[in-house]
Amino acid sequence: MIEEWQIELLLNIDSTWRSRGELCKHSDTLRHMSHHKVVRFLTKLKNEGLLEYRKVSNKRSEYKRAFEFPAHEGCQS
């Protein structure tokens, strides 16, 4: 079962590389969540192939969505 905070975190993930702190920054719910709980969920998404992961430094990791959505051909002006 997916929880409300997990949906909120998924909505914050896009094609830009962001750290866990940047993903949780604009949400009171996510900011007050346990660091380990959020990282565990991000790791689960990474293992399922939904997120790309890179280690920037010893203390900073970044995540982004693994798939790009194609531009819709009919919406171009």
Burial label for 56, CB within 10 Å (0-12, 13-18, 19+), is: exposed
Q: Tell me, what CATH number does 61's domain have?
A: 1.10.10.10
- Residues spanned by the domain of 38: 4-66
Judged against a pLDDT cut of 60, whether residue 32 lies above it is answered with yes
As a whole number of angstroms, the distance between CA 53 and CA 48 comes to 12
Query: Is 77 contained in some domain?
Result: no
Q: What pLDDT, on the 0 to 100 scale, is given for residue 75? A: 61
How confident is the model at residue 1, as a pLDDT? 81
| Within-domain flag for 31 | yes
3-class SS of residue 54 = strand
| Count of structural domains, the chain | 1
Residue with tokens 């192939």: 49
Q: Is residue 18 part of a domain?
A: yes
pLDDT band at 20 (very low <50, low <70, confident <90, very high): very high
